[in-house]
Amino acid sequence: MKPADKQAYLEEYELLKKKGKPFFPYAVLKDSAMMLVVVGVIILMSVLLGAEQGPKADPTSTTYVPRPEWYFFFLFELLRVIKPPELVPIATIGIPTICMVLLLLLPFYDRGPERNPIRRPIATTAGCITIAAMAYLSYLGATGGSPTEIDMKVAPQYEAGKEVVAGSGCLACHKLGENGNNGPGPELTHIAQRIPRAAILRSVEIGPGIMPSFRDLPPKKLNELADFLSSLD
């Protein structure tokens, strides 16, 4: 901005400031009144319409797919993309906190009086990139695979077994490649190196320790499951 422009801007600002009313109490009063109206409408709607509560939580369900609200999908996706455990705190706390602090400090590091977006290329570009990145991450988060899917390349004859493992809740306790939880069960990524097919089948049918028994699965599915797991070396 040229010095002359800046001078004109400051003069105009001074003039408007003299004409205007102080923030307190005028704007505070208006905002408070509007806030009361909004809260009143919410209370009225909750009394008249009630809130939908959904089915009661079932702690024994293994088919429930936990999902965040849509406005958290971008954070959810960030967490899914960043896999190494030592980087997880950076994804969950670090990046969002840094962004919030940058936003809070904006009035202090962006001192330019220019308001036209076209003449503020850095701010405009940064804003557009942020919005685009959040939109893209939200889209990926919304369409991403559920924890009952296994993201892993296998030979076609093992696809069926992979689906059985994916659909049976094994990932709640076992890690398989980049999928599933690391524990309480041992990692299954290279299970065939450790135990033979018959032993895998026995574990799945007996359910050693805290592992539930899966002997109620149809024999065909048990076989497909064993074929798949005994191919993982």
Smaller CB distance to ligand HEC: residue 75 or 150? 150
State the Cα–Cα distance between residues 52 and 71, nearest whole angstrom.
19
Structure tokens at 191: 């299970």
Phi, psi for 180 (deg, rounded to 5)? 85, 180
75 binds ligand HEC (CB under 6 A): no
Smaller CB distance to ligand HEC: residue 65 or 210? 210
Q: Compute the least distance from the CB of residue 64 to ligand HEC, in Å.
A: 13
Smaller CB distance to ligand HEC: residue 91 or 173? 173
Binding mask 114-153 for ligand HEC (x = CB under 6 A): ----------------------------------------
Restricting to residues 193-232, name those near ligand HEC by CB under 6 A: 194-195, 200, 203-204, 208-212, 214, 225
Contact 97, 75 (CB under 8 A): no
Smaller CB distance to ligand HEC: residue 131 or 206? 206
* SS3 call for 179: strand
Tokens 């293994």, residue?
A: 62
State the Cα–Cα distance between residues 224 and 204, nearest whole angstrom.
12
State the Cα–Cα distance between residues 200 and 208, nearest whole angstrom.
11
Select the residue interacting with ligand HEC from 144, 147, 177, 186 (CB under 6 A): 186
Select the residue interacting with ligand HEC from 72, 184, 190, 220 (CB under 6 A): 184
Structure tokens at 11: 């003069």
**Distances in Å between the alpha carbon of 158 and those of 51, 192, 228?**
46, 14, 5
State the Cα–Cα distance between residues 149 and 24, nearest whole angstrom.
56
Restricting to residues 151-180, name those near ligand HEC by CB under 6 A: 165, 168-170, 172-174
Q: Compute the least distance from the CB of residue 189 to ligand HEC, in Å.
A: 11
State the Cα–Cα distance between residues 206 and 59, nearest whole angstrom.
23
Smaller CB distance to ligand HEC: residue 141 or 161? 161
Q: What angle do CA 79, 81, 82 make, to 5 degrees?
A: 65
Smaller CB distance to ligand HEC: residue 179 or 203? 203
The region of 9-17, 35-43, 97-105, 184-192 touching ligand HEC under the rule CB under 6 A is 184-192
Cβ-Cβ contacts under 8 Å for 206 (sequence gap 6 or more)? 213, 215
- Give kind and range of the element (H or E) at residue 180: strand 179-180
User: What is the size of the binding site for ligand HEC (CB under 6 A)?
Assistant: 23
Smaller CB distance to ligand HEC: residue 76 or 214? 214
Give the binding site for ligand HEC (CB under 6 A): 165, 168-170, 172-174, 184-186, 191, 194-195, 200, 203-204, 208-212, 214, 225
